[in-house]
Amino acid sequence: MSSTYSLKDLKQLYGELKDGEESQEKFRAFISQEKWKLDDYKRWLDEAVQEKLSKEFQDIVTVLGERLGFKKKFGYYSSVKDEISYDGLWENDDLRIVIEAKLGAWIRNDVNQLGKYLDKMSSEKKDNKKTYGMYVVGSTEENQLRSFSEQIRGSDYAKKIRLISYVDLLKLVDIKEKNDLSNDQVSKILIPFDDVNVGKLVEIINIIMEEKGVASVTPPLSGGDGERPPSIEVPVVSRASLSNLEKGDVVVCPSKPSGTDFLRRYQAWPARIGSERKPRYFALYISSPVRAIKYFAEVEDVVEADGFQVENSEDKKYLAGKRMIQLKKGSIRELSDPIKKGTQYVPQGIWYTSLSKFLHAKTLDDL
């Protein structure tokens, strides 16, 4: 569902936003609904920047923290005596991010004011959470962002404060949701705990690359002009139950979770596989959030995909230039003990292993 309401429309319904009043409560409840798409938030934030609606900008930025997996807490529009007058707060079990949302890449007061908020919050909470500050700004001008960054670097809290434009924040939410990144991974992008070991950031980039590669080889089952075969029921078995099978090669193909629909309906898999090596067995690696080899089957034949009977016209377009791995009818099994991703290999294309390695592997690294 997409909203047709503009922020000006909402202002007519709720009135001017003020701390502690009903207008504030209603607006925050409205924008916090799960039905809104990322495009809705982008449209509202664009409008907030253009129309200089700072309060709306602040609250929508706070809500986006929830889309990143944090627990959110709305802040204050104006300074409140004896309170930490932050704009918003994002938290998880280990991290606390104090949000300052600004329409432009400039601030009325010194950057150290946010730093003092951090000191006060750490003192009051008395827990083990690391506390950081984050400026989320409406400007996307490179020169303005560079100038703001220099202010932060020159402050006493350079290691405790980060800066991001609202456009980049929206991109991060989109990346998180499309690649199913965990909140811990998002936290490491926003606030790297270890400035020396960049391995975690490389791991996150690796996941995104994997998802991009896997998406390109996952067959679609979009709407079309023909009927599809029914999706078959697949028994769940352990790998140990496959130990009586004859020795042979296993071809492993990657897929997004949506690709399993194709597998179950056609009992076949399209791939750019050569004619010189016909595998005896087939296995399917499912990308995030599963990230494991989840399905196994016996191979009947490998044929040119052009002659494969697929009723859906959109699916036919996808098959161009591929060959079809036809599986023995009824041989597909879902593994109760899938082979999970290890620390090294990120599958993006087809690859081979032996049945013996497949049966005994603890992770993909063992294949």
Q: Which residue has the tokens 């934030």?
A: 45
Task: Kindly report which listed range (22-26, 66-70, 182-186, 331-335) carries the lowest average pLDDT score.
Answer: 182-186
pLDDT of residue 225: 46
pLDDT digits (tens, 9 = 90+) for 156-169: 888 888 888 899 89
Whether 128 shows a pLDDT value over 50: the answer reads yes
Query: Region 135-146: what's the mean pLDDT?
Result: 87
Domain residue ranges in the chain: 7-193, 236-366
Confidence of residue 298 (pLDDT cuts 50, 70, 90): very high
pLDDT of residue 108: 59
Task: Kindly report which listed range (26-40, 231-245, 310-324) carries the lowest average pLDDT score.
Answer: 310-324
Task: Kindly report which listed range (161-165, 216-220, 330-334) carries the lowest average pLDDT score.
Answer: 216-220
- Domain 236-366 class, CATH top level: alpha beta
Whether 227 shows a pLDDT value over 80: the answer reads no
Q: Which residue has the higher pLDDT, 2 or 118?
A: 118
Can you say how many angstroms the Cα of residue 327 is from the centroid of all Cα atoms in its chain? 32
Task: Kindly report which listed range (16-25, 224-233, 240-249, 320-329) carries the lowest average pLDDT score.
Answer: 224-233
Query: Region 61-87: what's the mean pLDDT?
Result: 90
Whether 210 shows a pLDDT value over 80: the answer reads no
Question: What gap in Å lies between CA 88 and CA 117, rounded to an integer?
Answer: 12
Share of the chain above pLDDT 70, in %: 84
Whether 196 shows a pLDDT value over 50: the answer reads no
Question: What gap in Å lies between CA 238 and CA 243, rounded to an integer?
Answer: 10
Q: Which residue has the tokens 């130990």?
A: 243
Whether 138 shows a pLDDT value over 50: the answer reads yes
Query: Region 199-221: what's the mean pLDDT?
Result: 67
Q: Which residue has the tokens 């809290």?
A: 157
Contact at 8 Å (CB) between 41 and 48?
no
pLDDT digits (tens, 9 = 90+) for 265-276: 889 998 888 777
pLDDT of residue 43: 93
pLDDT of residue 252: 93
Q: What is the pTM of this model?
A: 0.65
Task: Kindly report which listed range (33-37, 238-242, 301-305, 330-334) carries the lowest average pLDDT score.
Answer: 301-305
Fold of 7-193: Restriction Endonuclease (3.40.91)
